[in-house]
Amino acid sequence: MEKHLLSKSTFMRGAQCPKSLYLHKKRPFLRDRLAPEQLAKFRRGTKLGLVAQRLFPGGIDVRPRSYQQYAKKLMETQEVIHSQSHDVIYEAGFQYDRLLVFLDILAKEENNWVGYEVKSALKISDTFLLDAAFQYYVITNSGLPLKDFQIIYINKDYQFDGTLNLDALFNKESVLDRILPLQSFVKEKIEESKAALELKKSPPIEPGAQCTTPYPCDFIGHCWKKIPKEQWPQISYSGEEFYDFVDEVLKLVKVV
């Protein structure tokens, strides 16, 4: 099996800035040190994903534990789907055209597969839609039709009354009608990213708004080094109240 060129995270990186993708793949040593707040955010997201799996009990987990397990887990996913041994798969892996995704939750409902992506957030953003659109593109082109694709996120009106109710804590929302029109845009971005990776040196992209939106880029120290520090973008990690709330939930379900 040919090694993948783009995963979900590198696709999103390339869509934000092809230079960031290039540097990530070819000059990783130029990367800024990860801020502890960002690291905490990643960990929180992963743990919340595990909590959301409880909405779909009895599934089989094919999450790769290391990069070396990717091929094995892709095969395992296919085996589970074809043998029909489980109706729920956590971290189902798919590859198409050197693009790789591991989907948070794949569930069979009335004989049709539905994809679920879990987000540690209170609403669905355009970035989440693009991320979902990429996953839908890879999974369906790899040969598995999806009847629906939904994003699971936190219900902002949830009131904890002493007993944790996961069905009330999470919102599940279909985004299929919003990601289908994005499929040609996804294809365009994939081609743009693949072309950037073919270059002999990094694409000539000037620092700008893309350095912090939608995510803070981790090559700011490299790209902005000739610009006076006072003009560097300010990275904010707002949302502390929300993070405290998520941390409380994680404690309640004992995943911390």
144, amino acid identity? L
Least distance in Å: CB of 25 to ligand SF4? 12
Please tell me the distance from the alpha carbon of residue 252 to that of residue 51, in angstroms, as a whole number. Answer: 10
223 Cβ contact partners less than 8 Å away, ≥ 6 residues apart: 19, 207, 211, 217
Residue of 136, 134, 138, 131 whose CA lies nearest to 153: 131
Q: Is 205 in the site for ligand SF4 (CB under 6 A)?
A: yes
Among 5, 6, 15, 17, binds ligand SF4 (CB under 6 A): 17
Q: Is 211 in the site for ligand SF4 (CB under 6 A)?
A: yes
Please tell me the distance from the alpha carbon of residue 211 to that of residue 217, in angstroms, as a whole number. Answer: 5
Q: Is 13 in the site for ligand SF4 (CB under 6 A)?
A: no
Among 108, 129, 210, 252, binds ligand SF4 (CB under 6 A): 210
Residue of 152, 136, 154 whose CA lies nearest to 144: 136
Residue of 109, 126, 108, 129 whose CA lies nearest to 117: 129
Stretch that binds ligand SF4, among 47-55, 91-99, 146-154, 210-218 (CB under 6 A): 210-218
Stretch that binds ligand SF4, among 48-56, 147-155, 188-196, 211-219 (CB under 6 A): 211-219
Q: Is 196 in the site for ligand SF4 (CB under 6 A)?
A: no
Stretch that binds ligand SF4, among 2-10, 43-51, 80-88, 212-220 (CB under 6 A): 212-220
Among 92, 219, 246, 249, binds ligand SF4 (CB under 6 A): 219
Q: Is 189 in the site for ligand SF4 (CB under 6 A)?
A: no
> Residue 225, exposed/middle/buried by CB under 10 A (0-12, 13-18, 19+)?
exposed
Among 20, 95, 171, 193, binds ligand SF4 (CB under 6 A): 20
Please tell me the distance from the alpha carbon of residue 75 to that of residue 204, in angstroms, as a whole number. Answer: 39
Phi then psi for residue 85, to 5 deg, are: -75, -25
Q: Is 220 in the site for ligand SF4 (CB under 6 A)?
A: yes
Among 15, 23, 105, 107, binds ligand SF4 (CB under 6 A): 23
Please tell me the distance from the alpha carbon of residue 217 to that of residue 18, in angstroms, as a whole number. Answer: 11
Name the residues that contact ligand SF4, by CB under 6 A: 17, 19-20, 23, 205, 207, 210-211, 217, 219-220, 223
